[in-house]
Amino acid sequence: MFELPFDRPGRFWRGNLHTHSDRSDGALPPEEVGRLYQEAGYDFVAITDHFRAKYGYPLTDTRALRTSTFTTLLGAELHAPRTEFSAEWHIIALGLPFGFTPPDSAETGPELARRARAAGAFIGMAHPAASLLTLADAESLDAAHAVEVHNALSAWEDRGDSWHLCDLLLGRGHRLGVYAADDAHFQPQDPPGFAAWVQVRAESLEPDALLAALKDGQYYASTGPEIHDIRLDDGTITIRSSPASRVLVTGCVPGKEVRAGDAFTECSLPLDMFRTSAYIRVTVVDASGGRAWSNPIWLN
């Protein structure tokens, strides 16, 4: 489904796809949230306030925060009944149009996600581990473009990593991207923000260009390292990155190919063990434990 982004025109833009302001349960106004992300070196942010009745179903307007060097994606975190272990879904929708109709009491989470996608939104499956999504839940969310495989706020609560569920979905043939996000609320009890992001390959910082690149899978996710290039050639994968202590290749088979060392920036690994796997993915780990993840690379 996804071509590798590294040779695509343009450059990588750093952004956070899941953030909250005081328009819902965040501590800070949108203007302050945008300023903090810009000062932290981000190129864009999506403020995704909770689309709930008690907050007036906000689609927080951040267009005034856009400049020539920093931009925003409009979106919200959508909610509707229900999953096996929770009364409601948590669904990220980026690129929602103003005037998007709130759900009624009969609309389910999967139905709401389909309607948001039909309206032009990029759909993310928010913090599956923290939401205790089952495989059946996740498969029912058939409008999703991507899975939030790392959520920094949920990691603070020891439920930040959703790779197991994602690998099961990928192994069953669901063509999904993967992203990491802060889910920052900037409440006093929360961890510091700016801990997880995406690097989106696009020709410009225009919101429409970023949104199209997200839908097309032209990005990777990170909590620290950079991935500079990934190439497949004659049964071998070659990865170039910022200094790494480990690089792993995994897929829909138990086990992995791994290179470990001290601050290396390039390695090649064989792909023989993945002959029966529909996909592979790359993880780059740095000396401090930060990780970067490629989108799934489909082999068939």
Cβ burial, residue 106 (10 Å; 0-12/13-18/19+): exposed
Q: Is the dihedral of CA 187, 193, 198, 203 positive or negative?
A: positive
In the chain, CATH 2.60.40.10 covers: 227-298
Determine if residue 100 is left, alpha or beta; phi over 0 gives left, psi from -120 to 50 gives alpha, anything else beta: beta
142-172 pLDDT per residue, tens: 999 999 999 999 999 999 999 999 999 999 9
pLDDT digits (tens, 9 = 90+) for 173-219: 999 999 999 999 999 999 988 999 999 999 999 999 999 999 999 99
Question: How many other C-beta atoms lie within 10 A of the C-beta of residue 81?
Answer: 15
Q: Which range (79-88, 185-194, 263-272) has the least confidence?
A: 185-194
3-state class (DSSP) for residue 11: strand
CA atoms within 13 A on the CB side of 77: 26
Q: What type of residue is 192?
A: P
Measured CA angle at 14 (ends 289, 18), to 5 deg: 85
pTM above 0.85, yes or no: yes
* pLDDT at 1 (0 to 100): 39
User: Residues 86-140: pLDDT tens digits?
Assistant: 999 999 999 999 999 999 999 999 999 999 999 999 999 999 999 999 999 999 9
Spacing of C-alpha 124 from chain mean position: 7
Is a pLDDT exceeding 60 seen at residue 47? yes
Fold of 11-221: TIM Barrel (3.20.20)
CATH code that applies to domain 227-298: 2.60.40.10
Domain with CATH 3.20.20.140 in the chain: 11-221
Between strands 44-47 and 50-51, the pairing is: unpaired
